[in-house]
Chains A and B, each alone.
Chain A
Amino acid sequence: MKEEHKKPLHRYGMVIDLDKCTGCGACVVACAAENNVSVRPDESDKNRFISWMQLYMITNGKEYPYTEVCYIPRPCMHCEEDGHGNPHPPCVSVCVATATRMDINTGIVSQIPTRCIGCRYCQAACPYHARYFNWWDAYFPKGKGLERYLSPEVSVRMRGVVEKCTFCHHRYMRAKRKAEAEGRRELREDEYITACAEACPAGAITFGDLNNPKHKVSQLIKSPRAFRLLERLNTKPKVYYLSSKEWVRRMADNYLPEELKPVKPLSVRG
């Protein structure tokens, strides 16, 4: 734990502009394709499916014509603290087999599927439900072409282990290898970008180094529209959202009755 007390060199984070997000789901599909995410013959059981990037739809609860809808793509937050001031995400300190860890150099919370014993304690500890358990063996329908797109850079997970969004860590490794071959250590902003950020047709997802003032993300988080999910829990997530709508910002966290008038929540999982 000693090295986690040091300040991370890079803090890779994401900014998702909810004013731009159309809820098309391209980020969800791109993530699943990039990371060899297993499918089910029947994906309707939303309790036990795997979707590293999950899309939520919320509305302001008002009747037509005042109804407003907002889509919230939710990857893993790659939290920096556990809510109690300790310098690790809530899921890392609870892992029994040291199968998950926050990398001090990038701030990315990684998962070792071959180390995971499947106790699911990390799933219980995560408030964002960002962790998914393999309730079945990995399944890719044969003869439909899905097995042909499997990426050799990402290991397919076996049954009984937990998986989650890794900020496309394999792309970081790819970019680092390329940079080292060119004799430099620093990555340019466009060299390492997650699959979801790359796929978003509305340009709603921006990815970069929050520590680097030249990267767009570090400028976007200073916007008055910026907020994070469950900010009060103090998990210090590295995924920020932008929204100009007050009711959306209110739905991002819990508020006591005297703090704000709560909007009636309505949500559907995408």
Chain B
Amino acid sequence: MTPFSFEWQWDIGHIIFFGFLYLVLTIVGLGLSWAGLKTVFQLLGLMWERDLEEH
């Protein structure tokens, strides 16, 4: 699963497979984090207050 586990080999199969996996997890994580952070900033009145006018 990680480069530190026993079965890991630095071959093209592992690099492509886990490369895509970590890319997907990163995109999903960043997306969620961005939405969460934006919400917090809006609630605290720090940023993105323009968007609040839509609601």
Contacts and interface: CB of A to CB of B under 8 A. Distances in A.
Contacts of B9: 2
Interface residues of A, number: 3
B45 interface: no
B13 A1 contact: yes
A1 B7 CA distance: 10
A98 B5 CA distance: 13
B53 interface: no
Contacts of B11: 1-2
A1 B17 CA distance: 14
Contacts of B7: 98
Interface in A93-126: 98
Contacts of A98: 7
Contacts of B13: 1
A34 B13 CA distance: 39
Contacts of A1: 11, 13
Interface in B1-49: 7, 9, 11, 13
A98 B6 CA distance: 11
Nearest to B13: A1
Interface of B: 7, 9, 11, 13
Top 5 A-B pairs, shortest CB-CB distance: A98-B7, A2-B11, A2-B9, A1-B13, A1-B11
Interface of A: 1-2, 98
